[in-house]
Amino acid sequence: MKQLRRDSLIKLIACIVVTIGVFVAFVQPLANSIRQGLDLQGGTHVVLEAEDTPEAQVNDDAMQRVVSIMEKRVNELGLTEPIIQREGERRVIIELPGIKDPDKAIQTIGKTAMLEFKDEEGNTVLTGTDLKDAQAATNQQNGQNVVHLEFSDEGAEKFADLTLKNVGRTIAILLDGEVLTAPNVREPIMGGRAEISGQKTLEEAQQLAVLLRSGALPVKVNIIETRTVGPSLGQDSKDKSEFAFAVGIGAVLLFMLVFYRMSGFIADIALMAYTMMLLFLLKSLDATLTLPGVAGIILSIGMAVDANVLIFEHFKEEFRLGKSLRLAMDAGFNRAFTTIFDSNITTIIAAAVLFFLGSGTIRGFAITLGLGVILSMFTAITLTQYMLKMLIASRLFKNPSVYGVHDLIFAGEEVKKDA
Amino acid sequence: MHRFDIAGRGKLWFLVSLLVILPGLACMFSKGFNFGIDFTGGTIIDLKFDEPVTVAQVRDGLRPFGMDGSTIQLSGNEANVESSQSVMIRTVDMEEAARKEVMAGLRSSVGEYQVMREEKVGAVIGGELILNAVEALVVSWLLIILYVAYRFDWRFGVSAVLALIHDILIVLAVFSFTQRQIDSSFVAALLTIVGYSINDTIVIFDRIRENLKLHFRKGGDIHELVNRSVYQTLRRSLYTVFTVMFTTFALYFFGGETTKDFAFALLVGFASGCYSSIFIASPLWILFRNRSEKKNLPTVVH
C-alpha cells in the first residue's frame, strides 16, 4: 500500500515537473517559430503595374481580371492569406506573408502566362483558353518533370486537327513567346491530352501548371516595387496584444487555482501541456497564425478549461453523494465524458464545415479551432484524468476541500436534496 | 431554498431578446454597418519621414482626427524593425479639406515628411468571402441539427441552432447600433461566437437529457426539470464564460487600437452566448416539446 502511494506520488510529480519544465523552456521559442500572417508579422509588399501594349490596352475590366487571376495564382501556390488589392487605375498590390524566397514567388506570379501552340509556319493554332486542366507530374519511366494538359472539347478538336496535319513535322509550345518545347509529331493525337516536358524540377512544373490553370493575364504587368512591411495590425497593437494575451492566460490559470485548489492546479498543468501540444501541432502542420486564428485559440483554451470544470463539477457531485474520492473520480469522469464529447463534437462539426467549405481567413480560423477542441478533449481525458488518479492514489490530501469540494452554492445543494 | 424560475418565464426572455434584435434589424436596414477599409477600400498613403518614426508615433498623430484605427505599417528593406523612415498608411477616403488637415497634423506632431504615393485602393474582402462563410455556416447548422437529433432529439438541435442565430443577430445589432467598425477579423469573431454558443448550449441540454431519464417517471414538471438542469450546470456555465472573457477582456483593455473592435465583438458574443444557452435555448426546447406533446395527445388518448 505504501509502495503504491509512493509510486503514485512520484508519477504525479514527474508529470508536473516535466510539463512545467517543457513549458517554461520551449513555449516562447515554439510560439515564435510558428509562421505568422500579414496581420501579425507583415511580409512582402509588391506593386504590379499594367502596361499598354499594341495587343492589349489596360482598362477597368482587364484590371479586375488581373486581380482575380492573381488571387488564383497566389492561393494555388499555397501562399496563405495574402492581400491582393487594386491600387488606383492600373496597379495591383500583392502582399505575401513571410515566405522563404519572395522574389522568386513574385517572378512567377507576375508572368503573363500566355500559352501558344504553333505549327511550323508559325501560325498559332491553340492558346491557353483551350485548356481545361493542367497538372504537374514526374514521368515514371524517364524521370522527367512534365505538365499534363487536358484540352476543352473545342481545344481537343483543334489539337487533333493540328497533329493530324503535322505528322512528321514539329510543333512548338510557347509561353509568353518563349519556346518551352518543340516536339516532333509522330502520329495524330485524338484524346485531347498533351504533355509539356523539359521542366528542370517538379516545383517548376507545378508552378507552370498553376500559371496555366489560372489563365493568362489579359495585359502585360511589370513589378514596379518590392519591399518589406511590418504587421498590418501595427507593431504597437501587436506588442500590446501579446501582453494582453499573457495577462488573460495568467488570469485563467489563477482562476482555476483559486476555485479548484489542487484540482485546479492539475488543470493548470494540463492546460500548459495542451498549449504546448497545440503550438507543436500548428508548427508541424506549417499553419499560418493570424488574428482570427488567435480567436480560435482563445476559444479552445476556454473549452480546455471547460472540460476540466465539467470533470470537477461531476466529481464533486458524486463525492457529495457519499462516494469515496476514487469512486467519485471515476464516476465523475464517465459522466463528464459524454457531456464533453457531445458538446465538443458540435463545435468540431462547425469547424470542419468551415474548413472544407470556407476560404482564406475562415479556413485558418477553422483549423486552429478544430485542432484546439480535439486536443483539449484529448488532454482532459488523458492527462487530467491520469494526474488526478495519481493524486488521489498518493493520498497526499485527505481533506476534500483540497479538491475544491468546499462551497455549496449551486449544484451541490440541489443534488443533496434530491439524494 | 426558493429558486428564481427561469424556465417558466420563457416569454419574458424572448421579449427581452426581441427588444434588442428587432430594433437591431431596423437599424441594420436603415443605418447599416460601418464597414472598414477591408470591405470598402480606401486610400493608401506612403510617407517618407526625415527621421525614423514608430507606428505608435504615427497612430498618436492620427488620433485627434479619429483615424487611429488606420492600418499603419513601417516599410523598408528589413523585416521587424521598430522604427523606420518609410510609413505606409491605409485609411478611409477623405475629403480634400480633411485630408489637408490630417497631413498638416502629422507634419506638426510626428515630423517633416515627403509623400511618396497616395492612391485609392480597392477592397480586400469581396462579397464572395462573406457569402462563402454564410453558406458554410448554414451547412454546419444543418449538420449540427442532424447530430443533435441523433444523439438527443431534433427539438434540442433546432433550439440550439436558433440560440446561436440569436447570438449572431445580437452581435450584428450591437455593431449596427454602435456603428463600430466591421473589418475582416469580425467574420472570425462571429464564427468564434458560433463555436462557443453551440458548445455552451449542448452542455445544458446534456444535463436536461440526463435528468430527463428519471424525471418524468417521478411525475415531474417540465419547468422544474429545466430549472434544475440549468442550476446544476450554472456554475460551469459561468466559469467557462469567465475563462473565455478573461482573455478577451484583457485584449479589449490592454490590446491596441486595431484589435479593440474585434475584442468587443467577442465580448458581446460570449455574453450573449452564455445568456442564450440559459434563457433562450432551454425555454425554446420547452416550447417545442410542449407543442409536439399537445399534437401527440389525441393519439395517446385513443
b/e code B51-86 from CB counts within 10 Å (16+ = b): ebbbbbbbbebbeebebbbbbbbbbbeebebebbbb
Please indicate whether, in this complex, the C-beta atoms of B76 and A343 are within 8 angstroms of each other: no
Highest mean pLDDT among A214-223, B75-84, B268-277: B268-277
Q: The C-alpha cell of B261 is what?
A: 473592435
Q: How confident is the model at residue A415 (pLDDT cuts 50, 70, 90)?
A: very low
Q: A319: number of CA atoms within 13 Å, CB side?
A: 23
A391: three-class secondary structure by DSSP = helix
Q: Using the predicted structure, report yes or no on whether residue B19 has a pLDDT greater than 90.
A: yes
Average pLDDT score, chain A? 85
Please indicate whether, in this complex, the C-beta atoms of A298 and B72 are within 8 angstroms of each other: no
**Dist CA A162 CA A171 (whole Å):** 9
> What's the pLDDT score for residue A218?
86
Other C-beta atoms closer than 10 Å to the C-beta of B123 total 16
> What's the pLDDT score for residue A279?
92
Query: What residues does each domain of chain A span?
Result: 2-39+233-418, 43-229
Please indicate whether, in this complex, the C-beta atoms of A353 and B140 are within 8 angstroms of each other: yes
> What's the pLDDT score for residue B241?
92
Identify which of A259, A361, A415 has the shortest CB distance to residue B184. A361
> What's the pLDDT score for residue B80?
64
> Do A233 and B258 contact (CB within 8 A), yes or no?
yes
Residues of chain A numbered 169-188 and touching chain B (CB < 8 Å)? none
> What's the pLDDT score for residue A413?
39
Q: What are the chain B neighbours of A229 within 8 Å (beta carbons)?
A: 73-75, 88
> Do A270 and A304 contact (CB within 8 A), yes or no?
yes
Determine the distance in angstroms separating the CA of B300 from the nearest CA of chain A, rounded to an integer: 31
> What's the pLDDT score for residue A182?
85
Determine the distance in angstroms separating the CA of A412 from the nearest CA of chain B, rounded to an integer: 8
Please indicate whether, in this complex, the C-beta atoms of A338 and B206 are within 8 angstroms of each other: yes
The model's pLDDT over B132-147, given as tens digits with 9 standing for 90+, comes to: 888 999 999 999 999 9
The model's pLDDT over B145-192, given as tens digits with 9 standing for 90+, comes to: 999 999 999 999 999 999 999 999 999 999 999 999 998 889 889 989
Q: Using the predicted structure, report yes or no on whether residue A222 has a pLDDT greater than 80.
A: yes
Please indicate whether, in this complex, the C-beta atoms of A230 and B55 are within 8 angstroms of each other: yes
Report the percent of chain A where pLDDT is more than 70: 94
Torsion sign over Cα A100, A102, A103, A104: positive
A81: three-class secondary structure by DSSP = coil
Q: What are the chain A neighbours of B128 within 8 Å (beta carbons)?
A: 359
Q: What is the mean pLDDT of residues B196-217?
A: 87
Q: Which helix (H) or strand (E) holds A127?
A: strand A124-127
* A379 in contact with B, Cβ within 8 Å: no
Q: What are the chain B neighbours of A238 within 8 Å (beta carbons)?
A: 256
Q: Using the predicted structure, report yes or no on whether residue A258 has a pLDDT greater than 50.
A: yes
Please indicate whether, in this complex, the C-beta atoms of B251 and A244 are within 8 angstroms of each other: yes
Determine the distance in angstroms separating the CA of A268 from the nearest CA of chain B, rounded to an integer: 12
The position carrying cell 484583457 is: B250
Please indicate whether, in this complex, the C-beta atoms of A350 and B247 are within 8 angstroms of each other: no
> What's the pLDDT score for residue B163?
96
Residues of chain A numbered 27-66 and touching chain B (CB < 8 Å)? 39, 41-42, 45
Q: What are phi and psi of A3, to 5 degrees?
A: -60, -45
Torsion sign over Cα A179, A181, A184, A189: negative
Q: What are the chain A neighbours of B192 within 8 Å (beta carbons)?
A: 295-296, 298-299, 365, 369
Q: What is each CA distance from A396 to A15, A33, A229, in whole angstroms?
A: 16, 40, 55
Provide the number of CB pairs (under 8 Å) joining chain A to chain B: 277
The model's pLDDT over B97-146, given as tens digits with 9 standing for 90+, comes to: 999 999 999 999 999 999 998 989 988 887 777 888 889 999 999 999 99
Q: What are the chain A neighbours of B71 within 8 Å (beta carbons)?
A: 232, 234
* A83 in contact with B, Cβ within 8 Å: yes
Choosing among A237, A335, A344, A406, which should be mutated to test the B contact, i.e. which has the most B CBs within 10 A? A237
User: A2-39+233-418 maps to which CATH number?
Assistant: 1.20.1640.10
Choosing among A306, A308, A334, A407, which should be mutated to test the B contact, i.e. which has the most B CBs within 10 A? A306
Say which CATH topology domain A43-229 has: Gyrase A; domain 2 (3.30.1360)
Residues of chain A numbered 253-282 and touching chain B (CB < 8 Å)? 255, 259
Domains and CATH numbers, chain B: 7-35+125-295 (1.20.1640.10), 43-121 (3.30.70.3400)
* A67 in contact with B, Cβ within 8 Å: yes
Choosing among B150, B164, B243, which should be mutated to test the A contact, i.e. which has the most A CBs within 10 A? B243
> Do A180 and A195 contact (CB within 8 A), yes or no?
no
> What's the pLDDT score for residue A114?
84
> Do A40 and B262 contact (CB within 8 A), yes or no?
no
Please indicate whether, in this complex, the C-beta atoms of B187 and A345 are within 8 angstroms of each other: no
- Which residue in A has a C-alpha nearest to residue B81's C-alpha? A230
Identify which of B122, B242, B259 has the shortest CB distance to residue A86. B122
